[in-house]
Amino acid sequence: MKLKEIELRIIHLPLVRPFRTSFGTQTSREVLMIKVTNENGTVGWAECVAMSEPLYSPEYVIGCLDLMKRFLIPALKSKQEISAEDVPTVLKPFLGGQMAKAALETAILDAQLRDQKISLASYLGTTKNKVACGVSVGIANNLEALGEEVKSYVDAGYRRIKLKIEPGWDIEAVKFIRSLYPEIPLQVDANQAYSRADGKHLAKLDEFNLLLIEQPLDEHDILGHAQLAKVMSTPVCLDESIISLSSAQDALELKATSIINIKPGRVGGYLESVKIHDYCLARSIPVWCGGMLETGIGRAANLALAALPGFTLPGDTSASSRFFKKDITTPFEMVDGYIEVPNGIGIGVVPDIEFMNSITRSVETINS
């Protein structure tokens, strides 16, 4: 298809409650939305999952906006015809920028699939029509508050609880929740908060029968993760370290991880995500789909990905109400611990333009 117009819009969406991790506290989501229009007038949507500041990743909203405007969009516009499958090759000369690249690829893919009248779920090859829901629980002010929040999610029917941890908020917090819920699937996420010297301390988590510990060390410390995996019985899962198929292959070969968290934004898009999934499926490596506090646009696409057969662990595909009082799409609702995979054409949802206009901070339109 030929790109006719690309709209870059920044919106500001408040969270229903502060979300604290080892790298900071979020009270709202600043989201870079991408809208592409092709020569047929067909529109495709995507969101860039970068945060406002480069804390989780080197990428951040304004940086992604600049990268798209200066380099990525001109490269795409230089092609007479472009398909989603072409995007990774066209953008490969530009180093990094996986989140920005993923957003452009997804918007183009959405428009492409809408023209073809097929759903993203069908395109990816999904095998399920609903996905088990997990929920990510931020660091609380105290154990009582943590217990109350977790109880609300358990009562709602979430099938897996993930606790954010950091030094000083780990063993006791996990022990407390495990004592309340001895059987519920439970995992922890450190977001790189620990060092190699913390191996013995982290091994204390083994007694709590966790599904996994996610990204305990720096994203570049593959050797450290391999060493940690030798002293813990809890499986080590990598998140920030996985930015491509090759990085996943390296981490698995070096035994730095035994479970992969696949985040499309972090690996450059859904096409690369499927490659990682297929590689892991062929080797019986469990994978799951992590979340980045996505709006309904990103959540819809993640649900399609998480319905692939290799996604055997509940991911972070929570109901819309987990993070937002009002979402920019029709809200995704959880029923008996599951959310249905969208089956409409493209990603299966469109934004509420009137509401989105009310929370828009800036809009730029780039014509062909």
Judge whether 328 and 320 are in contact, CB under 8 Å: no
Say what the pTM is: 0.96
Catalytic residue among 175, 263, 275, 325: 263
Q: Catalogue all structural domains in the chain, each as residue range(s) with its CATH number.
A: 3-117+353-367 (3.30.390.10), 122-340 (3.20.20.120)
Residue 331 CA to residue 320 CA, distance in Å, equals 5
Amino acid at 68: M
Judge whether 363 and 3 are in contact, CB under 8 Å: no
What confidence score (pLDDT) does residue 113 get?
98
Query: Pick from 136, 138, 78, 88: which is nearest to 108 by CA?
Result: 88
Q: What share of the chain is helix, strand, coil (3-state, %, to 5)?
A: 40, 25, 35
Question: Which SS3 state, helix, strand or coil, does residue 49 take?
Answer: coil
Give the bridge partners for 132, in sequence order: 338
| Alpha helices (H) along the chain | 61-67, 73-77, 87-91, 98-116, 120-124, 143-156, 171-180, 199-202, 222-231, 245-253, 264-267, 270-282, 296-306, 353-358
Distances in whole angstroms, Cα of residue 161 to Cα of each of 2, 81, 136, 249, 295: 44, 45, 6, 27, 20
Judge whether 324 and 315 are in contact, CB under 8 Å: no
What confidence score (pLDDT) does residue 56 get?
92
Residue 294 CA to residue 321 CA, distance in Å, equals 12
Query: Pick from 327, 321, 318: which is nearest to 359 by CA?
Result: 327
Decide if 164 is catalytic.
yes
Residue 109 CA to residue 115 CA, distance in Å, equals 10
Neighbours of 228 (CB within 10 A): 22
User: Do β-strands 134-137 and 130-132 pair in parallel, antiparallel, or remain unpaired?
Assistant: unpaired
Helix-helix angle 296-306:270-282, to 10 degrees: 30
Catalytic residue among 35, 101, 162, 164: 164
What string of pLDDT tens digits covers the 368 residues of the chain? 999 999 999 999 999 999 999 988 999 999 999 999 999 999 999 999 999 999 999 999 999 999 999 999 999 999 999 999 999 999 999 999 999 999 999 999 999 999 999 999 999 999 999 999 999 999 999 999 999 999 999 999 999 999 999 999 999 999 999 999 999 999 999 999 999 999 999 999 999 999 999 999 999 999 999 999 999 999 999 999 999 999 999 999 999 999 999 999 999 999 999 999 999 999 999 999 999 999 999 999 999 999 999 999 999 989 999 999 999 999 999 999 999 999 999 999 999 999 999 999 999 999 97
Question: Which SS3 state, helix, strand or coil, does residue 189 take?
Answer: strand
Decide if 263 is catalytic.
yes
Tokens 């015809």, located at residue? 81
| Token pair for 257 | 């991880």
Amino acid at 221: D
